Structure 1
Amino acid sequence: MTITHEDELDGLKEIGRIVANTMQAMAKAMEPGMTTRELDEIGRDLLEHEGAVSAPQSTYDFPGFTCISVNEEIAHGIPGDRVIALGDLVNIDVSASKDGYFADTGATYNLAPEDPSLHRLCRDGRRAMQIGIAQVGRDKPLAGIGRAIGRFASGRGYTLIRNLASHGVGRSLHEYPGEIATWPTRGDTRRINKGLVMTVEPFLSTGGLWASGGSDGWTLYSEPAAPVVQYEHTVVATDRGATIVTLPG
């Protein structure tokens, strides 16, 4: 989606606020002994209260209202009977629509007691997202996002999952300009147009390179096996840089 009117930005900020508040409330409620289904039900109730519709359900018939991925699961985890435990690495990804506008956000949490290496990975995963967002602006190269994140990751000894990309969003969950690499690439000459709505969501790892699917047809795992974190915002490109729409409020 490319924003051309202020009311479009208002619509995006509204659904952005909803998904951000939902994710934060889920994270705050998360505790050892809870199942991922119980956590997902909190997300369902919050989205329904705001009049929002789960995007993975409405778009792909996903068997959950949000995606919750634990430890070896790195994305698209199906909420179910898995019990969350102390020390787990839990990714919560919330995407939804309201009044024809879609927004997408995600974050990874390490339940106390925190492992120092996982704490650093979470901290640097958030920083990688921020570095990518800093590359968003009118007429900037799309490939600049992956180049900047790649420099940061390699400089600190991390790897990036190279088949889970950022994407256009706004009027649908995945749209123009398609996939946007959050790792260094060659040959992508596309530039960011003013008003472009997109996600920035690097998957930072201590050794993983690819996401591979499991037997349930949804959940993705790191290959080779290694801890992975993901942080995600939906942003709009402007003359002055990126406007983040997935902010709580």
Structure 2
Amino acid sequence: MRDIGRIVANVVQAMSRAMAPGMTTAELDALGESLLAREGAVSAPRSCYDFPGATCISVNEEIAHGIPGARVLAEGDLVNIDVSASKNGFFADTGASFRLGPVAPSVARLLADGEKAARIGVAQVAAGRPLAGIGQAVGRFAAKRGYTLIENLASHGVGRSLHEYPEEIATWPNRDRRRIEKGLVLTVEPFLSLGGRLAEEGDDGWTLYAAPAAPVVQFEHTVVATARGAEVLTLPG
């Protein structure tokens, strides 16, 4: 898990450094695909769900599951890069939102706070703690800072498959009664927004958009629960 976690984290960072105005999302995805292949890793969305890309790249109004293609990146874009893959039978999932050049101050603040929201969620993970604690803590932070959360995109267990028990781990205030078991591997991936509350599927059957329409950022890590807290598996290195 540490090995594939490191791989997907490195791919996200490499893609973020490579993206530039004038590049298409297909070209950016091709880079991610080649980097995964070089490490002996297999794209999870493609292998598990026949997704038409090696990675998910979502730009501006797209908030998740964006299909790489002919869309040309431009100065001022808000870009989410989500990379999940497997190696030797183990899966890891990570992602982050990036700005391509200058953006509005409200979006820059949203990006910084989106990363904070993910860290707050990760800090709630430890053996014996309630799963609901993740969403409760993220929800308090979002409310304090004047944000909304996308409430139909959830975190999930991951390990021997991309999505496994426990499914539907809320990253917003909730009443989940399940507890975190020692050794549980899961994602923490809140979607923080300037007004969006739900994700709606577009005409292509994959790409998700915020409803109401509003900027959204997502930062995601795969973590393992220990008695002392969360070990983050998706750190570059």
Fold shared, TM-score > 0.5 on shorter chain: yes
One-letter code aligned to 1:85:
A
**2:182 counterpart (170, 194, 207):** 194
Cα drift, residue 51 of structure 1: 0.3
**1:27 counterpart (6, 10, 16):** 16
| Structure 2 equivalent of residue 172 of structure 1 | 161
Provide TM-score, normalisation by structure 2: 0.99
C-alpha distance in 2, partners of 1:114/1:205? 15
SS at match of 1:14: helix
**2:143 counterpart (121, 144, 154):** 154
Cα drift, residue 71 of structure 1: 0.2
**2:201 counterpart (213, 217, 222):** 213
| Structure 2 equivalent of residue 228 of structure 1 | 216
One-letter code aligned to 1:53:
V
**2:35 counterpart (46, 61, 79):** 46
Deviations 1:59-107 (A, max 9, x none): 0000000000000000000000000000000000000000000000000
**1:241 counterpart (211, 229, 234):** 229
Cα drift, residue 114 of structure 1: 2.7
**1:99 counterpart (66, 88, 96):** 88
Cα drift, residue 178 of structure 1: 1.0
| Equivalent residues, number | 237
SS at match of 1:177: strand
SS at match of 1:34: coil
C-alpha distance in 2, partners of 1:101/1:115? 39
C-alpha distance in 1, partners of 2:4/2:53? 19
| Structure 2 equivalent of residue 5 of structure 1 | none
C-alpha distance in 1, partners of 2:72/2:186? 33
SS at match of 2:167: strand
**1:126 counterpart (88, 93, 115):** 115
Cα drift, residue 121 of structure 1: 0.2
Provide TM-score, normalisation by structure 1: 0.95
C-alpha distance in 2, partners of 1:179/1:102? 18
Cα drift, residue 17 of structure 1: 0.5
| Structure 1 equivalent of residue 71 of structure 2 | 82
Deviations 1:137-156 (A, max 9, x none): 00000000000000000001
C-alpha distance in 2, partners of 1:246/1:45? 19
C-alpha distance in 1, partners of 2:66/2:177? 33
Q: Which consecutive aligned stretches of 4+ in structure 1 deviate over 4 angstroms post-superposition?
A: none
SS at match of 1:150: helix
